[in-house]
Amino acid sequence: MKKRIEFFIIFTLFCALCLICLVGCGGGNAASMSGAARDLNNTGNNLENQGQTQDKNQDKNQEIEIQEMSGIQLSPTLSPTPSPSPSPTPDPVLEILSNMTLAEKVGQLFLIRPEQINPYESARLKTARSVMDNAADNSGANTTELTNAMRGMLDRYPVGGFILFAKNITSPEQVIKFNQDLKQACKITPFLAIDEEGGRVARIANHAGFEVKKYKSMYSIGATGDFSKAYEAGDTIGGYLNQYGFNLDFAPDADLTTNPNSNSSGIGDRSFGGDPELVSEMVRNFISGLHNHGVLATLKHFPGHGDTSSDTHNGYVAVRKSWDELLNRELKPFINNFDMTDMIMVSHVTAVHGNC
């Protein structure tokens, strides 16, 4: 029994000693393995850092090569400066209006005869029934130059333009100077207008002091059916009007005539004809000719004066047609050329229904 106890104690001590040895050896190996892992991890980190450095260097070299090839210096850290938005182009008309007084704006609505700002001639005009009728044109008022008194009147009444009649014209040199003086006396470039239709209404062509091409009538041009002849007439008239200082022609006549040999309406052979489509195209080509020389055009006499029984210069005139009838005839040359004309002259014609 005593031997068994001794054996058990010795065996227990032996096992404990073996266990201690095993633990000591295992801890060393674990420490060794832990150190090796740390070394391996450090090596991996070093390799990764080296790879990143190489990538950065490679990217930098590529960027330098691109810059050298393109000749452009790029800044990877700065955003491109945005271009400033272009300023809107100012409207010249609005600029002029913004600097005008109310009196100047109202004055631009009036286009007058020179006599109306001539204190020495305006009294004669007052005796006439109207500045636009024949009595006014033959009243003896014949202003042919701009005087200092007229300049003073323009300062007080800044009108929008002037129309010259035959009595305001004596020679090419005179009309050029007169128009230049009128233009220079106005703060805003005025309309310098004239009735130059060609045919019997032509203040320049029918004046003895001017040598320009004359036309028999617009009706004779319309009768050819050749639209180029209407353009040639507008081009010729526009050429000499521009030469003499005019910028606005009260032409072409867009009326339809039913009887070119009758002057009872005041139109007659001033019209290109009686067919709405033909007259429309003749009018369009005449306007193109005027525009070729920077001369503004005026369609007249809205809504149509060619089929009336009397002349508006002499009194009341009525057009007794329905709206549909006007649309299919008289109004067509106006409607078809709204996109071409610069102005429309309204006639003194009254449109009525029935027997009013």
183-222 pLDDT, tens digit each: 999 999 999 999 999 999 999 999 999 999 999 999 999 9
Structural domains present in the chain:
102-351 (3.20.20.300)
Residue 345 has pLDDT above 90, yes or no: yes
pLDDT digits (tens, 9 = 90+) for 147-161: 999 999 999 999 999
Residue 193, pLDDT score: 98
CA angle 98, 102, 107 (to 5 degrees): 110
pLDDT tens digit string along 15-40?
Answer: 555 545 444 444 444 444 444 444 44
Residues shown for the chain: 356
**pLDDT confidence band for 59 (50 / 70 / 90):** low
Q: Which of 37-51, 234-248, 314-328 has the lowest mean pLDDT?
A: 37-51
Residue appearing with tokens 């001017």: 210
Q: Which of 142, 131, 255, 241 is nearest to 196 (CA)?
A: 241
User: What global pTM score does this model have?
Assistant: 0.70
Which own/partner contact pairs does 134-143 have at CB distance under 8 Å and 24+ positions apart? 134/313, 137/165, 137/166, 137/167, 141/113, 141/115, 141/167, 142/115, 142/167, 142/168, 143/113, 143/114, 143/115, 143/118, 143/168
Interval 311-330 mean pLDDT:
79
| Residue 323: predicted pLDDT | 85
H or E stretch including 319?
strand 317-319
Segment 260-265 mean pLDDT: 60
Mean predicted confidence (pLDDT) in 81-106: 86
Read off the pLDDT of each residue in 82-100 and give the average, rounded to a whole number. Answer: 84
Q: Which residues contact 128 (CB under 8 A, 6 or more apart)?
A: 135, 136, 139
pLDDT in tens, 98-152: 999 999 999 999 999 999 999 877 666 665 544 444 444 544 568 999 999 999 9
Query: Looking at residues 71-84, what average pLDDT do you find?
Result: 60
For residues 293-298, give the mean pLDDT. Answer: 98
